[in-house]
Amino acid sequence: MSMLKDKLHRPLHDLRISVTDRCNFRCQYCMPAEIFGPDYPFLRKQEVLSFEEIERIASIFANLGVKKLRITGGEPLMRKDIPILIKKLHEIKGITDIGMTTNGVLLPKYAKDLYDAGLRRLNISLDALDNTIFQKMNGRGVRSEAVLKGIESARQAGFSIKVNMVVQKGVNDSQIIPMVTYFRNLDVTLRFIEFMDVGTTNGWNWEQVVTKREIFELLSKHFQLEPVEQSYFGEVAKRYKHKDTNAEIGFITSVSESFCSSCTRARISADGKFYTCLFAGNGHDLRALVRSEANNQQIEERISHIWSGRTDRYSDERTEGKPIDKKKIEMSYIGG
């Protein structure tokens, strides 16, 4: 089978699967509490893909060339019995790598079961060590120690870990050096994510973006860093290594240095919509297909048709100053 590519010759290698639109945090840049309050209409159980439906969709994507899966949310550990899904996905022919993005708070409960099910990589979100800053950012008053405890549980279980920090000017940029110092000593990769204009509710503006260049210049005054070669086509992070340890620093630069030209990622929302871009406004309903009489071949043909027609390059167009469609799906729904 020839490799499936889009209109800009980008292959389909990675699939991000949201397993829930619910989260136990209310981070301002993702799921602000004033929008996602007690009366917010989250998806009902029957609207969310079952484990069997997720497994079927992932198998079809694997047949089209997907090698890597990432499980996201909302907060994926809020999905009941999530290790059972991991085991199902781990057994799919062609899938060579499964990761999960989590806020880490529930890892003390689930880390061992997840590892035993076949999960090996975790991206754990932590935006500050300082509790005054972190509690305000997560919108639930959760202390950073709860996430650090989760990270330690994951380390003890044997996971490869990356810690993700979304940096906002005037909010948590004072935490850049403390975070690097802390995780450098743990030999854990820390990745800085530029504050992105995902969705329409996070109050994004250019003034709050701290760019990779600004962060790197700050780090260079305190640490000795050297660049690390890209591991594969489509790798998102610009990577650096501390000269005196194995710990890495990564930068996700979708605002200041867009990487649309090498984007190989598709996304499935918790209710089975297929999105070809993180900044998309509309998805393609795979749940209806899966719950219809359509067979795998027909679903595969539909996915192939969608991907082969893909032209998304939102971050490039933002950088170029082109008019941008304001309608964008929320990150908490599509899974980041």
User: Do residues 105 and 124 touch, judged by C-beta distance below 8 A?
Assistant: no
Structure confidence at residue 80 as a pLDDT band (50, 70, 90): very high
Give the model's confidence band at 278: pLDDT under 50 very low, under 70 low, under 90 confident, else very high.
Answer: confident
The residues spanned by each domain of the chain are: 14-334
HSE (CB half, 13 Å, CA atoms) of 120? 9
pLDDT, tens digit, 9 for 90 and up, residues 257-266: 666 788 899 9
> For the residues 135-152, what does the mean pLDDT come to?
97
Q: Give 53's contacts (C-beta < 8 A, 6+ positions apart).
A: 272, 287, 290, 291
Crossing angle of helices 296-308/51-63, nearest 10°?
Answer: 60
pLDDT at 199 over 60: no
User: What tens digit of pLDDT does each residue of 293-333 get?
Assistant: 999 999 999 999 999 999 987 676 666 666 666 566 776 76
Q: Above pLDDT 70, what percent of the chain? A: 87
Q: Quick one: pLDDT band at residue 48, thresholds 50, 70, 90?
A: very high
pLDDT at 2: 64
Q: What pLDDT score does 100 carry? A: 98
Closest CA to 123 of 216, 271, 21, 252: 252
Q: What is the pLDDT of residue 196?
A: 63
Task: Please give the average per-residue pLDDT across 141-166, as a whole number.
Answer: 97
- Residues recorded for the chain: 336
| Distance set, CA 48 to CA 8, 43, 271, 297 (Å) | 32, 7, 4, 23
Q: Which CATH number fits domain 14-334: 1.10.275.10, 3.40.50.2300, 3.40.50.620, 3.20.20.70?
A: 3.20.20.70
Whether residue 64 is predicted with pLDDT greater than 90 in this model: the reply is yes
**Distance (Å, whole) CA 81 – CA 85:** 7
Q: What average pLDDT does the structure give for the chain?
A: 89
pLDDT band at 159 (very low <50, low <70, confident <90, very high): very high
